[in-house]
């Protein structure tokens, strides 16, 4: 399932969104202030940021600017009551991918979220195919034909990155940094994960001293 970081200090709205997202099989990490949000990004990887602006300690604009300055390009949507053109402009200037004004309809928000998740994979389709494999974007799941392939978290994360960079070389350093999440991940451990994915049948090519590539025929 896709993992969303929700930065929102309104308890009632947060509880409602968490319940609705979980019913759509999203994993939600909820934080109430910008500093807590920043801490969460140091130890976890997310598929999308859903951000209020007026939150304690570090506002949503400054939080996202800090991440963009550090090279974090995770898709981000501002959900805010700020509706003036200046705020809208600032939201996009600091690196937002989308901006939705409160109050909003949940189904509309869901449409925006799913569109952004697909954008990471450079497609408008719901799934990506490589040989007999299917990666279903909204479910964050890998199949061979109709059969679901269960994967541990690290290997699922590698699969997601490979499909997001289909037919491109995924740099080894990017993989290692993405997998760390506050822990040390060695090149040896990475090679073990890649070997397990090859046993599943994924056509992963090693680009010597550079990284790995998943290629579609």
Mean pLDDT of 4-26: 89
The pLDDT tens digits of the residues spanning 166-181 come to 888 888 877 777 666 5
Indicate if the pLDDT at residue 152 is higher than 90.
no
pLDDT at 182: 43
What is the strand order of the sheet 27-31 is part of? 27-31, 3-7, 48-51, 76-80, 98-101
pLDDT at 5: 93
Burial class (CB in 10 A: 0-12, 13-18, 19+), 145: exposed
More confidently predicted of 191 and 7: 7
What pairs with residue 13 in β-bridges? Answer: none
Mean pLDDT of 125-149: 84
pLDDT at 180: 62
Work out the pLDDT band at 1, boundaries 50, 70, 90. Answer: low
CA distances from 51 to 149, 163, 181, 194 (A): 33, 26, 21, 34
The pLDDT tens digits of the residues spanning 83-119 come to 778 888 888 888 888 888 888 888 888 888 888 887 7
Indicate if the pLDDT at residue 128 is higher than 90.
no
pLDDT at 18: 92
pLDDT at 31: 93
Work out the pLDDT band at 121, boundaries 50, 70, 90. Answer: low
The pLDDT tens digits of the residues spanning 28-50 come to 999 999 999 999 988 777 888 99
Structure tokens given for 10: 């309104």
Indicate if the pLDDT at residue 188 is higher than 50.
yes
DSSP 102-131: SS--HHHHHHHHHHHHHHHTT-SSSEEEET
pLDDT at 42: 84
Residue corresponding to tokens 């600032």:
90
More confidently predicted of 211 and 140: 211
pLDDT at 83: 74
Q: Measure the CA dihedral 17/163/143/185, to 10°.
A: -80
């Amino acid at each position: 399932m896709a993992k969303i970081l929700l930065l929102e200090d309104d308890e009632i709205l947060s509880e409602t969104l968490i319940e609705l997202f979980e019913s759509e099989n999203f994993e939600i990490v909820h934080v109430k202030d910008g500093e807590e949000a920043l801490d969460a990004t140091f130890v976890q990887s997310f598929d999308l940021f859903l951000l209020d602006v007026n939150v304690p300690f570090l506002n949503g604009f400054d939080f996202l600017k800090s991440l963009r300055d550090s090279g974090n390009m995770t898709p981000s949507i501002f959900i805010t009551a700020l509706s003036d053109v200046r705020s809208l402009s600032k939201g996009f200037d600091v690196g937002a991918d989308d901006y939705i004004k409160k109050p909003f309809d949940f189904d509309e928000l869901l449409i925006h979220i799913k569109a952004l998740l697909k954008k990471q994979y450079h497609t408008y389709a719901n799934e990506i195919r490589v040989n007999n494999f299917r990666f279903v974007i909204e479910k964050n799941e890998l199949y061979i034909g109709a059969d679901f392939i269960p994967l541990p978290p690290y290997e699922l994360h590698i699969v997601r990155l490979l499909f997001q960079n289909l037919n491109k070389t995924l740099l080894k350093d990017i993989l290692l940094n993405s997998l760390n999440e506050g822990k040390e991940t060695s090149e040896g451990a990475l090679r073990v994960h890649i070997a397990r994915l090859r046993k599943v049948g994924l056509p992963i090519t090693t680009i010597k001293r550079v990284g790995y590539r998943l290629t579609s025929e």
